[in-house]
Structure 1
Amino acid sequence: LNRWKENYVSSPDEMETLVGSGKAIAILRKMGFRICVVTNQSPIGRGLWGHDVLTQINDKLQELLLEEDQGAEIDLILYSPYAPSDDAWSRKPNPGMLEAGRQIIDNAHRFPGKSNILLFGDDWTDRPSESGSMLVGDRQSDISAAERFGVKGILCDSESGISGVFETILDYVEG
């Protein structure tokens, strides 16, 4: 969705979306898909910046996507603040954020204003079918998380993002 930076996007001013990302998200939303962004954010765990900065960056991401297309609404953004050495269940390539995202999106409309206990790992035995779900990412850890969660993983180029694999997404959906 956004342009890759070697030393992280560290402020809202550095956020740049990839051309076509907003349009691709809007089309998927019109097709009935819910959009959940899952992102590893180790700079938080390493003390480079805090949760508040990431919130500002994510708000800027949403703003820029909506500028491209008013239908490009992100349903949920989840992040793992842990360093790779922490091997946290929420950090990709582990599927923890995907499990949490699925449950939050699936239950949000059923219980507005109420929080529910999230199940994860081996405790989540009553999983819904993920046959129509997919994860689009620009790193192998994204694809590994998708495989471990049981959804289709689509690897995209970091310079073109989701719009660069949009035909592949449509082929999978129509498949």
Structure 2
Amino acid sequence: MVCEFMLIPRRDGAEIDSPLELLPLPNGTWDGKIAYLDRDGVLNVGSENYINSPEELVVFPNTADSVAALRESGFRVCVVTNQSPVGRGLWSDENLHSIHKKLRELLLSENSNAHLDLILYSPYAPWEGAWARKPNPGMLEAARQIISASEKNIEIKLRFDNDWHGNHDESKSIMVGDRDVDMGAAFNFGVKGIRCNPEIGIYDVISEILGD
């Protein structure tokens, strides 16, 4: 797949290739699996008019426990979210960061192990043809490289599309989303896509993920 422009993801609160400090997983060492999670409709209630401020953010019931359960099962947890209001000029990266800060706070207030290892977003409008924007797999490519490099404590050197020939094993990883673009990103990246009910969020599918 080739996009007209190689517009890459952005990382919440940091430069995309800056060092990432990973907290230890609760039950041992990491075996390579990542839970790639959409945000709206998965972690929090979505809106056709976007989530425009921290005050509008409503986390689904049982979301914090679901995120904690993923980490307890050995997953690194990465949010990958399309956020075109930034590219449309409706609001800034700083405003989006304030929303994500509130998301982290709400999750941790309910479960101290509901830690999001990484949040990546695509700020681009749909017509920009960004590799970072789902259903393209740019955010998932970046997440794999950032987390893998950080686990090994080596420099993050990102490559995308045909420039990245990473031998990444996604057989134990999953992508959770509520829309076609999420399932498209999963397919294009080669990871199992699991669709959840956008009225329930990740708790709708946590038993399927964990094999309970």
Once the two structures are TM-superposed, the CA of residue 117 in structure 1 deviates from its matched residue by 2.0
Structure 2 unaligned spans of 5+: 1-42
Distance 2:166 2:103 in 1: 33
Letter in 2 for 1:88: A
For 1:123 and 1:46, how far apart are their aligned partners in 2? 28
Match of 1:142 among 145, 169, 182: 182
Q: 1:14 deviation in Å?
A: 0.8
- Say yes or no: does 1:156 pair with 2:196: yes
Any residues of structure 2 matched to 1:6-155 within 5 Å, and which? Answer: 6-111=48-153, 114=155, 116-155=156-195
Q: 1:1-48: CA deviations, max 9, x gaps?
A: 001112111001111100111100001101110000000000000000
SS at match of 2:193: strand
What SS does structure 1 have at the residue aligned with 2:81? Answer: strand
Aligned residues: 170
Code of the aligned partner of 1:73 = H
Superposed structure 1 runs of 4+ greater than 4 Å apart: none
CA-CA distance at 1:109 after TM superposition: 3.0
Q: Highest relative contact order (Cα 8 Å, sep 6+), 1 or 2?
A: 2
SS at match of 1:129: coil
Aligned AA (2:44)? N
Instruction: Tell me the CA shift for residue 124 of structure 1.
Output: 1.2
| Aligned residues with identical type, % of pairs | 53
CA shift for structure 1 position 168: 1.4
- Counterparts of 2:208 and 2:162 in 1: how far apart (Å)? 32
Match of 2:46 in 1: 4
TM-score by length of 2: 0.78
Which structure 1 residue ranges, 5 or more long, are not aligned?
A: none
1:126 is displaced (CA, Å) by 2.6
For each residue in 1:54-97, what CA deviation from the matched residue of structure 2 results, as whole angstroms up to 9, or x when unmatched? 00000101111111211100000000000111110000000000
Instruction: Judging by fraction of residues, say which structure has more helix.
Output: 1
State the TM-score, normalizing by the size of structure 1: 0.94
1:79-132 deviation line (CA, Å, top 9, x unaligned): 0000111110000000000000010011113236x5x32011011113221100
